[in-house]
């Protein structure tokens, strides 16, 4: 508050000093001076504002002589003061200007205090966060259907893809190549590539009784890093072998995950994880904002609203249709951040728990 208030004083008083003619009456303005406030830095101080320095002229921090001796004030030892009796002709304040300044200084503390109090406080969401795998759940579902003749249809949540499980690369979704091959009676290797680059490899292990499937999932990022996840799925419905509707019952993230939350354009927030190519920027105006620069209502868009001080809701859309929502909540002690992700067409949400770093 000290520097905020003094900054206001400086802005008003700067440049008002004028030559002091003989015969003018001096008036006290009662200002306490800190270093660096006044450029040429002279004004009148009265009484015991500076201890025993009565009717003194505040000079710069460097001692100077001007028709008399300089002295130091006991209360402000870094300030050298010129006695008024020896400082006639120094830039001082006329009586009329002093009265105006006195009135200005009387209201400045209230104005500056109100301005300081009106400044928005930092959002409690801002900070560095580390993913807590032990408290998080990222349930997954995948469907494998046998079409006969070693042909299978896979659905990993993005749509059906039908290929022959012979280990060759075959057309998949979104311009990718998908392959699957049987390495052993209880082991499959599933890979996806795009533009000649291996994007992911999943090693599936079937339990002896065929009731569970363990997926050792490895995703290879363009920066050379690897995302390592292990899933345990349980068979639901019918099917035999690898053909089944598989629901995950346990998810283990082996790769550490961190997230940074920063302020964005005033009251907005920016969420960034190392794996993201760009941050997720949100404003709390409830309006859809294109995520890739496309026209409104086309392509991916995001909007957000603040429920209260500790809770946010972020909505994702594609071509105007909602594809998912994120409920972002802070614990009462501000140490735990929980993001609950609801996806269109899925019953179970992802629950991502982070601890403040």
State the burial class of residue 204 (Cβ atoms within 10 Å of its Cβ: 0-12, 13-18, 19+).
buried
Q: What is the pLDDT of residue 238?
A: 82
- Distances in Å between the Cα of 23 and the Cα atoms of 78, 89, 180, 346 are 31, 12, 101, 88
Is the domain of 146 the same as that of 103? no
- Distances in Å between the Cα of 87 and the Cα atoms of 38, 56, 57, 81 are 18, 9, 8, 10
Q: Are 315 and 335 in contact (CB under 8 A)?
A: no
Mean of pLDDT values over 129-150: 94
Is the domain of 143 the same as that of 248? yes
Distance CA 309, CA 330 (A): 9
Report which of residues 218 and 88 the model is more confident about.
218
Reported confidence tier of residue 298, pLDDT bands at 50, 70, 90: confident
Check whether 304 has a pLDDT greater than 70. Answer: yes
Distance CA 214, CA 203 (A): 8
Provide the CATH number for the domain around residue 333: 2.40.128.20
Is the domain of 348 the same as that of 263? yes
Give the per-residue SS3 of 204-253. Answer: EEECCCCCEEEEEEEEECCCCCEEEEEEEEEEECCCCCCCEEEEEEEEEE
Is the domain of 177 the same as that of 281? no
Q: Which of 198, 232, 253 is the last residue of a domain?
A: 253
Is the domain of 93 the same as that of 190? no
Distance CA 283, CA 264 (A): 8
Strand order in the sheet with 56-58: 44-45, 56-58, 80-83, 70-72
Check whether 163 has a pLDDT greater than 90. Answer: yes
Mean of pLDDT values over 268-287: 88
Q: For residue 9, give the H/E element and its range.
A: helix 2-13
Is the domain of 145 the same as that of 73? no
Is the domain of 196 the same as that of 293? no
Check whether 51 has a pLDDT greater than 50. Answer: no
Q: Which of 253, 273, 297 is the last residue of a domain?
A: 253
Count the neighbouring beta carbons within 10 Å of the beta carbon of residue 301. Answer: 24
Reported confidence tier of residue 352, pLDDT bands at 50, 70, 90: very high
Q: Which of 118, 145, 172 is the last residue of a domain?
A: 118
Among 49-53, 105-109, 265-269, the range with the most confident prediction by mean pLDDT is: 265-269
Is the domain of 234 the same as that of 333? no
Report which of residues 9 and 201 the model is more confident about.
201
Provide the CATH number for the domain around residue 200: 2.40.128
Three-class SS state of 133: helix
Mean of pLDDT values over 345-353: 89
Check whether 251 has a pLDDT greater than 60. Answer: yes
Distance CA 146, CA 173 (A): 19
Domain span at residue 178?
Answer: 137-253
Check whether 153 has a pLDDT greater than 60. Answer: yes
Is the domain of 170 the same as that of 247? yes
Beta bridge partners of 348: none
For the chain, what is the domain count?
A: 3
Q: For residue 113, give the H/E element and its range.
A: helix 95-118
Q: Are 180 and 152 in contact (CB under 8 A)?
A: yes
> SS3 breakdown of the chain: % helix, strand, coil, rounded to 5?
15, 45, 45
Is the domain of 333 the same as that of 239? no
Place of tokens 């929502």: 325
Is the domain of 152 the same as that of 218? yes
Q: What is the pLDDT of residue 102?
A: 56
Is the domain of 170 the same as that of 111? no
Q: Are 226 and 257 in contact (CB under 8 A)?
A: no
Q: Are 58 and 38 in contact (CB under 8 A)?
A: yes
Reported confidence tier of residue 60, pLDDT bands at 50, 70, 90: very low
Mean of pLDDT values over 265-285: 88
pTM of the predicted model, to two decimals?
Answer: 0.57
Check whether 270 has a pLDDT greater than 50. Answer: yes
Report which of residues 157 and 184 the model is more confident about.
184
């Amino acid at each position: 508050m000290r520097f905020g208030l003094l900054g206001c004083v400086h802005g008003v008083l700067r440049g008002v000093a004028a030559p002091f003619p003989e015969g003018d009456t001096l008036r006290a303005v009662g200002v306490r001076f800190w270093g660096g406030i006044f450029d040429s830095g002279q004004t009148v101080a009265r009484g015991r504002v500076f201890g025993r320095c009565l009717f003194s002229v505040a000079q710069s921090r460097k001692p100077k002589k001007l028709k008399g001796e300089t002295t130091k004030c006991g209360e402000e030892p870094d300030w050298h003061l010129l006695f008024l009796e020896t400082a006639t002709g120094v830039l001082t304040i006329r009586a009329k200007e002093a009265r105006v300044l006195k009135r200005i200084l009387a209201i400045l503390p209230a104005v500056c205090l109100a301005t300081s109090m009106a400044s928005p406080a930092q959002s409690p969401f801002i900070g560095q966060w580390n993913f807590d795998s032990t408290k998080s759940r990222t349930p997954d579902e995948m469907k494998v259907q046998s079409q006969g003749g070693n042909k299978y249809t896979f659905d990993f949540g993005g749509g059906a893809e039908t290929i022959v499980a012979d280990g060759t690369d075959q057309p998949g979704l979104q311009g990718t190549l998908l392959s699957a091959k049987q390495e052993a009676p209880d082991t499959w290797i599933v890979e996806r590539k795009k533009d000649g680059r291996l994007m992911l490899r999943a090693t599936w292990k079937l339990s002896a009784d065929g009731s569970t499937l363990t997926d050792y999932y490895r995703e290879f990022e363009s920066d050379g890093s690897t995302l390592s996840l292990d899933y345990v799925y349980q068979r639901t419905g019918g099917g035999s072998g690898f053909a089944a509707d598989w629901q995950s019952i346990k998810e283990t993230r082996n790769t550490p995950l961190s997230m940074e939350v920063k302020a964005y354009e005033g009251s907005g927030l920016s969420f960034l994880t190392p794996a993201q190519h760009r941050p997720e920027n949100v404003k709390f105006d409830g309006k859809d904002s294109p995520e890739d620069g496309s026209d409104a209502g086309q392509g991916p868009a995001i909007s957000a609203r603040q429920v209260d001080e500790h809770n946010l809701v972020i909505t994702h859309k594609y071509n105007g249709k909602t594809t998912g929502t994120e409920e972002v909540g802070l614990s009462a002690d501000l140490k735990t951040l929980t993001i609950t992700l609801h996806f269109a067409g899925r019953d179970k949400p992802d629950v991502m728990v982070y601890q403040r770093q």
